[in-house]
Every structure is written in C-alpha cells, then in structure tokens.
Amino acid sequence: MVGSMFGGADELSDRGPNQCHDITLYPEIGLAGGACEGYGLLLDISDPANPVRIDAVADENFAYWHSATFSNDGKTVMFTDEWGGGRAAKCRDTDPMEWGANAIFTIGEDNKMDFQSYFKIPAPQTTEENCVAHNGSMIPVPDRDIMVQSWYQGGILVFDFTDPANPVEIAYHDRGPVNPGELVMGGSWSVYWYNGYLISSEIARGLDFFALEASPFLTQNEIDAANTVKLEYKNAQGQPMYKWPASFALAKAYVDQLDRDPEMSQEMIQQLRDGIYTAEMTGNMDVLMELAGTVSANASGAHADKMTKLATTLQDLAQG
C-alpha cells in the first residue's frame, strides 16, 4: 500500500515524513504507533534509546494521519484521519464514510499491519457542526476492545472494535450544533476514560464528565469490572496496559460475554451465575473452587480462552 502511494521500496528508503502529529507509546508491548501526516508508522521501542521503524501504511482516503491507538493486547492498531483539521463540517450525509474516519489494522506475527476496516461516526451531522475523528482512549472492559472518541460537534462516541473487521457503535452523546444558524468552532476536542469516568474537553461549553450505563451492548457487570481498574495518572501520548484484579464483577462480566454466544449452554451459564451469586452472598469460597474446576474441564473450542480466564478469576477469588 505504501509503495503504491509513495513509490517503490527503494524510493521509500530516501523518503518519509519529517514530522509526526502524534506518536502513541505502548511500552508494555514494546511498540509505538506514529500518525505522521502522510501515513502511519509502527515502531519497535523495546530498546527506547534506539527505536526502529518496522512497518508503514498509507491510504488514499486519509487526508491527515492524526493519532494512533492500540488494542489492549497490542494485536490491533487504529489510526485517525483529521480531514479538514477539525474546523470543517466533515460528517455530513454527503461525506464519504472512509474520509475523516478511523482505519483499523491488525498486527501480524511479523509485525506487519494489515488493513481491516474503516469506522466513522454513523449519524450524519449538519453543515453547522465541525466534525471529524479526533482524540480518545481505550475503556478497560475486560476481553473487549472498546474505545471512546471525540468527534468535535459530532459529540463523543463509544465503539467496539473487538472484531477489527466489523467495528460497531455502542453508545454516544451529542448535543447538536453550538449555533444552528452558522458553523462556529465547538464540540469535544478530546475524551479519555479515567477511573470510571469519560472526561471530555468541550471547546465551547466546558468540561464534561460522563459515566457509562448498561445497555444491550454493554452489561453492568462489564462496566463494574472496567471500574476496578485504577490509574495513578493519565498521559494521552502513552498507552497503559489494562489489568483487572480478581473480583466478582470480573467473573460475572466473563459470564455475560459467554452468554452472548447463542451456542453456549444455557445450563452452564445458569450454573455459573448461581454459583457466583451464592459465593458472593454467603462468602462460601468452596463453591468458587468447584466452579473453577467445572469451567476448566469445559474450556475448549471457541470459548477456551475466555473460559480459562474465568476459571483463573474464580480460583483467585476463592484463594483470597
């Protein structure tokens, strides 16, 4: 893709950006994502004093590579296109869904990026609203890749890209235009998850604090499990790896996720929910150890990874 945009591989060795808008560092996986105006870079930062460029991508639909965000496991990276610089109405129903959007790539074992899909705010905005993809962060919902992102006067959007080829909106907040009569600068410039809140810097209206609510797309147990993650600080240019302490909320979140699969045994789901409820209400941790054994014995096929995580959580809870 890069070669078709900027010439052959030999030419690329002598060409490239002389600056990047944003570089997101993810030290715990040894990678950085550089949004470098004309294209996106993947950098090996395992030796911080000697970073190495390991891959690059370009896209004829992107006007200005603005920022990068990794999935928590580092197997996916998403780049943002700030088409129009944030001052123009770029989310109208006449605007292509590939422009001013996010481009999602998987990262292979060879550290090469492979394009999967675009994602753009699905609700058309008016000509009086400056709107384009902008700053955001991951939300620590266990075992899912969920991000909150600002879209200027498009508001803020929460979307799930666990399946990088099929991202989907799961929540939003949109006030509408600052001035319905003309386009004036406004909207959410940035929004970040921080210890249970979505904190949005709204250019024209001030600072907003949001909390997630349960819906068919996100259960209360998943929200509660996310809120067990506590950050000591937030640096928007550095991405932390989210880690979840063992908790009843985490165990119940895993069960909720298993329950989304129609092929999952409902008898097993009910057994898990009853056992976890009994242990939480009575303090009988032996129930959890028995459940952990049952889950481990059934950890196979498509559910093996999540069942193993659930079994580990139940064991950790039982052992205090």
The pLDDT value recorded for residue 14 is 54
- What is the pTM assigned to this prediction? 0.92
- Written as one letter, the residue type at 210 is F
Class level of CATH domain 2-226: mainly beta
The pLDDT value recorded for residue 301 is 85
The pLDDT value recorded for residue 4 is 44
CA triple 174-115-173, angle to 5 deg: 5
The pLDDT value recorded for residue 16 is 57
The pLDDT value recorded for residue 18 is 73
Give residue for tokens 């481990």.
Answer: 296
The pLDDT value recorded for residue 3 is 45
Could you read off the pLDDT of 193-208 as tens digits, one per residue?
999 999 999 999 999 9
Indicate where the chain has its CATH 2.130.10.10 domain(s).
2-226
Which positions of the chain have pLDDT values less than 50?
Answer: 1-9
Could you read off the pLDDT of 56-109 as tens digits, one per residue?
999 999 999 999 999 999 999 999 999 999 999 999 999 999 999 999 999 999
The pLDDT value recorded for residue 17 is 62
Say how far apart CA 261 and CA 293 lie, in whole Å.
Answer: 21
Cα-flanking dihedrals φ and ψ of residue 126, to 5°?
-85, 170
